Amino acid sequence: MQLFHGYIKEDKFHLHEHEINHCVRVLRKHAGDTIHFITGSGPLYKGHIEVATKQLVSGNFELIEERFGCFDYNLTVAIAPTKQLDRMEWFVEKAVEMGITKIVPILCDHSERRILKPGRLEKIALSATKQSLKGALVSIAPLITFRDFIEGQSVDYIAHCGQGEKHAFKTQISEQNGPITIMIGPEGDFSETEIKLALEKGITPVDLGKSRLRTETAALVAVATLYQRHL
Amino acid sequence: MQLFHGYIKEDKFHLHEHEINHCVRVLRKHAGDTIHFITGSGPLYKGHIEVATKQLVSGNFELIEERFGCFDYNLTVAIAPTKQLDRMEWFVEKAVEMGITKIVPILCDHSERRILKPGRLEKIALSATKQSLKGALVSIAPLITFRDFIEGQSVDYIAHCGQGEKHAFKTQISEQNGPITIMIGPEGDFSETEIKLALEKGITPVDLGKSRLRTETAALVAVATLYQRHL
């Protein structure tokens, strides 16, 4: 099934500008054709095209499925963006395919990458959402410092490679209801100060298995753990 | 810890040619220095450099750890190489980081990529092995047809997206001892004939969760499932 990204306005659906060319020029859809589209908020719709020009695709629509391709957990991964951007991009794609609610890029003491443009990540997320047949778009937050992040919201877990007692993430989340937030550190791990701050806030230190994983691999293992939780 | 790839010959260790430049020119190691190295068969060694030239790094050595960074399962993933090679490369890196024993590229009815050069995949595997601190190199088999593969060896599981009864891979492997082999199909899935052949051979059909996953993501979920099995 080919999915488009659209929006609803005054009882009609409209495709977003970036989808029109593919719909009209590549797939040669025209008035009278039906397409499937998502708005990003969750549902799957069927659209009956009434107008199809180079500037506009719109028409009537019907709701097909309320929570399309939804998953049964709410997972936020706060991750220090990797030095090589393609590693972060891979993570976004894979996390969306499996199912993730929100990605928060965090700026840590040891972060080498200190600037992140969200545009390309959002494009990758949209493409993976459509490809993996989901109705809800993952939210990609603006870059925030580690300290602001743990001050500003409830965080459940910190996955770090340092010393000290840690719990298996898989066991911790096996029976946890409600939203889950886990933080994954940069290439050089969280700093000792950051780990101390997190523990003081009551954030549970977890490990994701015994291999030394790269940042984006650790984040993926966390997502895969939730994805497979109830199988 | 910085790891090198070497071999042992006549009671001395020698670094492989592709490692010498990094050791001698970049890290400026010389006679009298010690380095850590793996041969790819499992152990971690410490090497005492006696000769360090642009052509040769060698010396005495001692065994540090017999099964260095080993994992407690034996997993073979037979995967149809993806059309875009970087997706396959990415899978190899992540699978090695988590822990995998063997990767077998298989040629399926719907495979778009019908040629695969193993050189680059082996290089990525070596790099990930060193980076994730493991002593055993993953084996990357030559490309083989689906039919030859299922005829030639015992295969446990086939993950496909078609109809029919399937079992959750996670549940299936939770108590399985001994080597595990799973097959992951190409972008267009296994053909109906291939699925039928597999079932006739007694290969168990499995699913890896309810999302529609890309080839390399499905393979990665299978590895992550084993990696997290006993946490």
DSSP E strand boundaries for chain A: 3-9, 12-15, 34-38, 44-52, 57-65, 75-79, 102-107, 139-140, 144-145, 157-159, 167-168, 180-184, 204-207
Numbered residues of chain A with Cβ closer than 8 Å to any chain B Cβ = 69, 71, 90, 94, 97-99, 131-134, 168-171, 208-214, 217, 220-221, 224-225, 227-228, 231
Residue after which a domain boundary falls, among A37, A65, A93: A65
Look up the CATH number of the domain holding residue B195: 3.40.1280.10
Numbered residues of chain B with Cβ closer than 8 Å to any chain A Cβ = 69, 71, 90, 94, 97-99, 131-134, 168-171, 208-214, 217, 220-221, 224-225, 227-228, 231
For residue A229, pLDDT beyond 90: no
CB contact under 8 A, B228 and A231: no
CB contact under 8 A, B98 and A231: no
Residue after which a domain boundary falls, among A35, A65, A95: A65
Helix, strand and coil in chain A, % to nearest 5: 30, 30, 40
Partners of A131 on chain B (C-beta within 8 Å) are: 212, 214
Partner residues linked to A7 by β-bridges: A14
Closest Cα in chain A to B208: A228
Q: What is the pLDDT of residues B61-91, one digit of tens each?
A: 999 999 999 999 999 999 999 999 999 999 9
Q: Is residue B34 part of a domain?
A: yes
Q: What is the mean pLDDT of chain B?
A: 96
Domain co-membership, B81 together with B57: no
The confidence score (pLDDT) of residue A170 equals 94
Domain co-membership, B26 together with B93: no
Q: If you ran DSSP here, which 8-state letter would residue A137 be given? A: P
pTM over 0.90: yes
Listed in sequence order, the DSSP H helices in chain B are 17-21, 85-98, 118-131, 146-152, 169-173, 192-200, 215-227
Q: What percent of chain B has pLDDT over 70?
A: 100
**Which of A99, A133, A211 lies nearest to residue B97, judging by beta carbons?**
A211
Look up the CATH number of the domain holding residue B26: 2.40.240.20
Partners of B99 on chain A (C-beta within 8 Å) are: 211
The confidence score (pLDDT) of residue A118 equals 86
Q: What percent of chain A has pLDDT over 70?
A: 100
State how many domains chain B has.
Answer: 2
Closest Cα in chain B to A208: B228
The confidence score (pLDDT) of residue A157 equals 98
For residue B203, pLDDT beyond 80: yes
For residue B175, pLDDT beyond 90: no
Domain co-membership, B109 together with B215: yes
How many Å apart are CA A128 and CA A117, to the nearest integer? Answer: 18
CB B77 within 8 A of CB B185: no
How many Å apart are CA A221 and CA B224, to the nearest integer? Answer: 6
What's the token pair of residue A130?
Answer: 């459509």
Confidence of residue A135 (pLDDT cuts 50, 70, 90): very high
Domain co-membership, A123 together with A170: yes
How many Å apart are CA B165 and CA B180, to the nearest integer? Answer: 20
The confidence score (pLDDT) of residue B149 equals 98
The confidence score (pLDDT) of residue A177 equals 87
Pairs across A and B, CB distance < 8 A: 90
Instruction: Tell me what the mean pLDDT of segment B168-190 comes to.
Output: 94
Domain co-membership, A36 together with A54: yes
The confidence score (pLDDT) of residue B17 equals 95
The confidence score (pLDDT) of residue A94 equals 98
Confidence of residue B33 (pLDDT cuts 50, 70, 90): very high
How many Å apart are CA B77 and CA B89, to the nearest integer? Answer: 14
Q: If you ran DSSP here, which 8-state letter would residue A155 be given? A: -
Q: What is the pLDDT of residues A158-209, one digit of tens each?
A: 999 999 999 999 999 998 889 999 999 999 999 999 999 999 999 999 999 9
**Which of A209, A214, A231 lies nearest to residue B171, judging by beta carbons?**
A231
Domain co-membership, A188 together with A211: yes
How many Å apart are CA A153 and CA A144, to the nearest integer? Answer: 12
Q: Is residue B219 part of a domain?
A: yes
Domain co-membership, A99 together with A208: yes
Partners of B231 on chain A (C-beta within 8 Å) are: 168-171, 209
CB B102 within 8 A of CB B134: no
Domain co-membership, B114 together with B221: yes
Q: Is residue B147 part of a domain?
A: yes
Q: How many CB atoms lie within 10 A of CB A202?
A: 9
Q: What is the pLDDT of residues B117-167, one digit of tens each?
A: 889 999 999 999 999 999 999 999 999 999 999 999 999 999 999 999 999
Q: If you ran DSSP here, which 8-state letter would residue B22 be given? A: I
Q: Is residue A174 part of a domain?
A: yes
Q: Is residue A70 part of a domain?
A: no
Q: What is the pLDDT of residues A6-26, one digit of tens each?
A: 999 999 999 999 999 999 999
How many Å apart are CA B74 and CA B226, to the nearest integer? Answer: 9
Domain co-membership, A20 together with A90: no
Q: Is residue B8 part of a domain?
A: yes
Residue after which a domain boundary falls, among B43, B65, B87: B65
Domain co-membership, A187 together with A111: yes
Q: Is residue B70 part of a domain?
A: no
Domain co-membership, B143 together with B40: no
Q: What is the pLDDT of residues A75-93, one digit of tens each?
A: 999 999 999 999 999 999 9
How many Å apart are CA B166 and CA B189, to the nearest integer? Answer: 15
The confidence score (pLDDT) of residue B181 equals 98
The confidence score (pLDDT) of residue B177 equals 87
Instruction: Tell me what the mean pLDDT of segment B17-32 comes to.
Output: 96
For residue A231, pLDDT beyond 80: no
Label residue A16 exposed, middle or buried (CB < 10 Å: 0-12, 13-18, 19+).
Answer: middle
How many Å apart are CA A155 and CA A199, to the nearest integer? Answer: 11
Provide the domain limits for residue B7: 3-65
Confidence of residue A230 (pLDDT cuts 50, 70, 90): confident
**Which of A170, A213, A227 lies nearest to residue B97, judging by beta carbons?**
A213
**Which of A94, A131, A168 lies nearest to residue B231, judging by beta carbons?**
A168
CB contact under 8 A, B131 and A214: yes
Domain co-membership, B52 together with B79: no
Q: Is residue A192 part of a domain?
A: yes
Instruction: Tell me what the mean pLDDT of segment B39-47 comes to.
Output: 98
> Collapsing DSSP states into helix, strand and coil, what is residue A96?
helix
Residue of A44, A97, A100, A167 to mutate, testing the B interface (most B Cβ within 10 Å of its Cβ): A97
